[in-house]
Structure 1
Amino acid sequence: MSFTLEERGNPNSLSYRLFFKNADGKYISPFHDIPMCADESQNIFHMVVEVPRWTNAKMEIATKDPLNPIKQDVKKGKLRYVANIFPHKGYIWNYGAIPQTWEDPAHKDGDTGCCGDNDPIDVCEIGSKVCTRGEVIKVKVLGILAMIDEGETDWKVIAINVEDPEATNMNNIDDVQRLKPGYLDATVDWFRRYKVPDGKPENQFAFNGEFKDKDFAIETIKSTHKFWKALISQQANAGELNCKNTCVSDGGSPFCCSVDEAKAVVGQTCPCGAEEPIPSSVDKWCYCEKK
C-alpha cells in the first residue's frame, strides 16, 4: 500500500497544508482512510509521520478540517513550535499518529481515570532514520506511556520502523532500555517539560511515569480503534471532528466524500508557494529547572 503527498500553500505559513493520495491518485484522509494495520496477524501498524525528528514545528493531522490534511498548530494566531528544552533539540523521535484510532473524550479510561484527548493515538518512532513529514511507515509496537495532559489521557506509543536495522532486536519495551539506555528517561523528561516554556505546568503521568509493555500497548491501540469505529459509524458524537472520508463510509453516510468533493476541498486551498523563513527564536535553548 503506497501513498503520495500534495503540498498546498506556503511552507512555514498559516496557509500550508499537506494532503494525501492513495495509489490510485484518489485524495484520502490520513485520519480515516489509511488502515490502522499494515499486517494485522503480526501486529504491525501504520504510522503517519507528522513531525520528523529534530524539528520543532508542531505539525499535526487536522482532525477538524475536511480530508484532515497535515498542518501546523496555531496558538493566538501564530504558528506553534516546540521549544528546545536543554538538552533536547526539537522532537527527539519521529512523531506521528496511528490512523483509524481515536481517544474518545467521552470515555474515562479505567487505568488513568481521565477521558481521551479527542485525537488519534500518538506514536514516538525511535529508529535511526529521520523520516519525512507525511511519510506513512510500518511500525512494530514496543510499549506505551500514559501522559496526562491538562486532565486528559494522551497515550504515547513507543514503536520502531520495521525496516530499521535495529528492529529485529527490539520486541518489547525492555529492549529499548537495554539497547538505547537513557532514551526512555529522556522521553518522559521531554513530555513532562515541553510546555513549561509556554508558561504551563509540567505534565503528569499515570503509572508513576513507567512505560507499559508491548501487549498493554497493543490492547490500548485496539481499544482506540474501537472508539474510531463508533465515531465513523455515527455511534459516537463527532463534535467538531471532520469525519469526511473517500474510502471507508458508504454512499448513504454523511461522512462519504466523493472524488469531486475531495478535489474541491483541495482546490479551495492556496497553490504551493515559496517557503517562508522560520523565526530565529525557534533555535534558542530554554533552560527549565527540574522539579
Structure 2
Amino acid sequence: MSYTVEERGNVNTLSYRLFFKDADGKYISPFHDIPMYADEARGLFNMVVEVPRWTNAKMEIATEEALNPIKQDVKKGKVRYVANVFPHKGYIWNYGAIPQTWEDPRHENADTGSGGDNDPVDVCEIGTKVCSRGEVVRVKVLGVLAMIDEGETDWKVMAINVEDPEAGALNSIGDVQRLKPGYLEATVDWFTRYKLPDGKPENRFAFDGQFRDKDFAVETIRKAHGFWKALVESRQTASAAKGLNCKNTRVSSGESPHHCSEDEAKAVVDKTSPCGSEEPVPSTVHQWFYYERKK
C-alpha cells in the first residue's frame, strides 16, 4: 500500500498539519488506518516517520485530533524543538511510530512498574537513509529500550528500513552492537539527557538501560496493538484514554461512533489553514549544550 501526504498551514508554526491519504487519494488516519504489519508473514512492520534524522522539530502524530495528522509539539504556547546536547545534533535516527499501537496509561507494565504514555509505540530507524516527514517505511524490528519518562513507560523500538543496504546484515540487537559499536550507547545517552536544557532531570530506564531482544520487542508491539484494538472498539473512548481521537475511515463500520466518512474526513481537512510559506527556524535551535556525563 502506498501513501501520500498533504501539508496544511505554515511549517514551523502552530498551524502546521500533515494529513495522510491512501492510494486512492482518500484521507486516512496514520494512527488508526495504516496497518501495523507491512508484511506479517515476514515479520515486517509499518513505521510512520515523524522526525527525519538530524532535524530538531519535535513532530508527532496528533492523537487528540480528528484524522491524527502530524503536527509540531507545543511548549508554553510555542512550537517545540529538541535541543542539541553534545555530541548529538537533533534526532540521531529517523524517528516515528508504529500505527495501530497504543501504550495504555491504565495498564501497569510488570517489567517497568508504570503505565503507558498514551501514545503509539515509538520507533528509532537506524538505516543509512534520511527519511522524509510523513514517509511510511517497512521496518524490521531489532530490539527495544524501555524508557521511563516522567513516570510513564515509553518504549523505544530499534528497527531498520527493510530496503536499507545494511538491512540484510542487521537482524538483532546484537548485530547492531557488533556492526555499529557505540550506537546503542549513544541512543541511551540521547534519551537520558535530551530534556536537560529544559530544566528537567535525566530520564530513567528499566532493565538498567539495557536493550531487550527482538522477540521481546515484537511481543511488546503486539501487546500495544491489543490495547489499541480494545480502544477503537470501545464506545467510551473519552473515559478509556486521555482525550484520544479514534475517528478512522477504515477500521470501524458505519455504525461505529469512531467511523469517519469520506465527506467528514474532507471537512476536517478543509477546516485547517491552506498550505502557506515556511516560517524561519529560531536561531536558538542551533545552539549546542554541553553537560558532563554522570558516572
Q: Report the TM-score range of the alignment, normalised by the length of the smaller protein.
A: over 0.9
Matches within 5 A, 1:249-288: 249-288=252-291
Give the stretch that moved more between structures: 268-277 or 231-240: 231-240
Quote the residue 1:246 is aligned against: 249
Amino acid at match of 1:270: S
Quote the residue 1:13 is aligned against: 13
Matches within 5 A, 1:28-177: 28-177=28-177
What are the Cα deviations for residues 106-163 of structure 1, in whole angstroms up to 9, with x where unaligned? 0000111110000000000000000000000000000000000000000000000000
Tell whether the 8 Å contact from 2:115 to 2:153 is kept in structure 1 after alignment: yes
What are the Cα deviations for residues 60-97 of structure 1, in whole angstroms up to 9, with x where unaligned? 00000110000000011011000000000000000000
- In the aligned structure 1, how far is the partner of 2:144 from the partner of 2:83? 23
Tell whether the 8 Å contact from 2:21 to 2:27 is kept in structure 1 after alignment: yes
* Distance apart, 1:22 and its partner CA: 0.2
Equivalent pairs counted in the alignment come to 291
Look up the SS of the partner of 1:128 in the other structure.
Answer: coil
Quote the residue 1:196 is aligned against: 196
- In the aligned structure 1, how far is the partner of 2:183 from the partner of 2:3? 31
Gapped regions of structure 2 (runs ≥ 5): none
- In the aligned structure 2, how far is the partner of 1:90 from the partner of 1:239? 29
- In the aligned structure 1, how far is the partner of 2:269 from the partner of 2:218? 34
Q: TM-score, normalised by structure 1?
A: 0.99
What are the Cα deviations for residues 35-74 of structure 1, in whole angstroms up to 9, with x where unaligned? 0000111110000000000000000000001100000000
- In the aligned structure 1, how far is the partner of 2:42 from the partner of 2:4? 25
* Distance apart, 1:238 and its partner CA: 3.2
- In the aligned structure 1, how far is the partner of 2:109 from the partner of 2:242? 20
- In the aligned structure 1, how far is the partner of 2:115 from the partner of 2:50? 23
Amino acid at match of 2:69: P
Amino acid at match of 2:277: A
Q: TM-score, normalised by structure 2?
A: 0.98
- In the aligned structure 2, how far is the partner of 1:201 from the partner of 1:20? 36
- In the aligned structure 2, how far is the partner of 1:115 from the partner of 1:242? 20
- In the aligned structure 1, how far is the partner of 2:13 from the partner of 2:292? 32
- In the aligned structure 1, how far is the partner of 2:284 from the partner of 2:197? 13
Look up the SS of the partner of 1:18 in the other structure.
Answer: strand
RMSD: 0.8
Look up the SS of the partner of 1:54 in the other structure.
Answer: coil
Quote the residue 1:222 is aligned against: 222
- In the aligned structure 1, how far is the partner of 2:230 from the partner of 2:60? 22
Percentage of pairs with the same residue: 76
What are the Cα deviations for residues 187-239 of structure 1, in whole angstroms up to 9, with x where unaligned? 00000000010000000000000000000000000000000000000076133
- In the aligned structure 2, how far is the partner of 1:122 from the partner of 1:164? 19
Look up the SS of the partner of 2:124 in the other structure.
Answer: strand
Gapped regions of structure 1 (runs ≥ 5): none
